[in-house]
Structure 1
Amino acid sequence: MRWIFRFFKLILILVIAYGIGRFTVVYIDSLVVGERAPYFQQQSDHSIVVRWTTERHSLGVVRYGEDPAYLEFLAIEASPEKDHSVKLTGLKPDTRYYYKVGDIDGFIETDLSLHWFTTSPVPGSKKATRIWAIGDSGEPGEVATQVRDAMYQWVSQHPREGRAPVDVWLALGDNAYRSGSNDQFQAALFDAYPRLLRNTVLWPVYGNHDARRWTYFRIFDLPEQAEAGGVASDTEHYYSFDYADVHFIVLDSQDGDTAADSEMLDWLRRDLAENRRNWVIAAFHHPPYTKGSHDSDDVTDSGG
């Protein structure tokens, strides 16, 4: 009987060692490290969040204004960080602002002709809205580059003076293959779309590959308290926002409970009931029906 005890003891030790090792890998892969250029979150008609990362802890500062020759406003982070997040408030709707980021010791050298953002129009405004939606874009390489460049080519053929190439950018999940690590997000998102990120907000959807690490919720500030319109969801897993006369709803088909009485669907009903926009667009990762690389009729394939 002693050998049985020793056998199960060995199995237990191996399981614990594997668990510790696995946790360590996930933890390290999810750390937001290195330098990362500014990008935007939580765009609304009166505010926006600026994110960027630095190698050392510093008190992040954003200088911004409507005139690139005179950036009259200043926003300062609450405490020194490496992963910076600064919210700009009191902005005018549908207005271009130029910006640069840095710390209390100085600002990063910036070409202000390229570094600007535009606030959303007043919710309900009747304004043509250009939307770019990409899905399963997390594999950097030739195909992703061709898709990106095709968009750039199209918008260059359909220019809009004083506006970003697109108004709303949706990333429909699996945004970083294969495990949603910080390095994979860097390669598939930040290195792949630097031109778009410096002017345009990315609104992400949670996918199964994003769920393999914790990076997704560390690099995105999503409007769980209705900062950009809609009803507060109290979670970054699903949320909503307004742009002009369009109401966008982002759902979590990966970890979200889709039962009729679930918190997510209860929130969805309340959000839809409060909506006054003429257009409603819902985004989520897993399609209700597909016969492509996955088969929605097969219950063993992503739940059918």
Structure 2
Amino acid sequence: MHLNTQAPRPVRASNRTMGVVVAAVLLLVGGLILANPERAGAAADPVISRGKAATASSSETSALGPQNAFDGDQATRWASAEGKDPQWIRVDLGADATVSRVKLSWEAAYAKVYRVEISPDGSTWTRLANETAGNGGTDDWTALSGKGRYLRVYGTARGTAYGYSLHEVEVYGTPGGGTPPGTGAFTVVAAGDIAAQCTASDSGCAHPKTAALAQRINPKFYLTMGDNQYDDARIADYRAYYDKSWGVFKDKTHPVPGNHETYDPAGPLSGYKSYFGAVAYPQGKSYYSFNEGNWHFIALDSNSFDQKAQIDWLKADLAANGKQCIAAYWHHPLYSSGGHGNDPVGRPVWNILYGAKADLVLNGHDHHYERFAPQDPNGKATSDGITEIVGGMGGAEPYEIENVQPNSQKRISGPYGVLKLDFTDSGYSWTYVDTDGKTQDTSPKYTCH
């Protein structure tokens, strides 16, 4: 038992406690519980932090993000940047809750001095527990009494030369004060560069196969990343080709246009707008946004990134966003190792999204699959960067990989397929699945910024 002869404070039980003392304490606690039924109820409070949205002051790598401390898995962990104080990790409990206990499972890099705090709004913090001589292992703070929506562990002095690292942070208590805003996990299927001028009667025609795969996955909805119909996206071609494959689930699709949609002799985006109608223009423009769960999705028209109207709209849309997680998608990738290569048209948009702490960008244009490590708009790898995926393998002829870009982690050219994206209230991951149903690539698990 960690004893403090100064002012009373919550109890913190260390895993280095002598066995005989633990036995005596258990006997004592047993007697107290019998004498205090209210305390017995508190001891049985459930874990209310598991799987909830988490953030941190820093992460050593994207694979050691804060979500790992709330996944119930002792084999995963959060690790802060090394050699820097202070550092913190925070969880959003989803609604106001009464917290009675916090259990911390430290990795070898532990905190010597830290505090546990609670807040109703993520700005004003009240201290629940304070440690000034931490020695790692497991810290189990019981007999706490605090109310709030956000809880954080705030470290001010490291116990080692490394950083701060926690396998698990378990918050126990009783929810109250409203229903958590999250609506659980959902799956999305996405692809770009889809309908060549062929049909299922041609064995070499790929887009009917990617459509069948997409339909088997049965996602919440579908995204397209432009060049939906080749070669010049006439309405007659949309009806003859795209409509026979991906058009089967048009009412569940959130598309964006590509450069081929601008080639329509009837006018740029004429066939695209005629075919999709309000599906592609729900807000009266070729760019729009929508929400699902704890995610805000932004569909952009990269053919008109030079137009002030779209940029102003994007800034206003992000300013009004109330969701924690942000994904954006358009046609031309800022970074690509394929034949088209990097397209700087997207850099101003990346700057805006990065400033808003966006998480994910999906693109097409190059006909291959590629995933990048999180990076900033200038291509510098950073844990708070945006993750980009090129997913242009929906049915158009594949392009070769030509010039591998920095931060490119995986590249596949050849097998047609779709992105199967799995979203939660606090993070995301995905697989690239080919038309035979085989998983060609699996991403790391990422936490929303």
TM-score by length of 1: 0.46
Query: RCO higher in 1 or 2 (8 Å CA, sep ≥ 6)?
Result: 1
TM-score by length of 2: 0.32
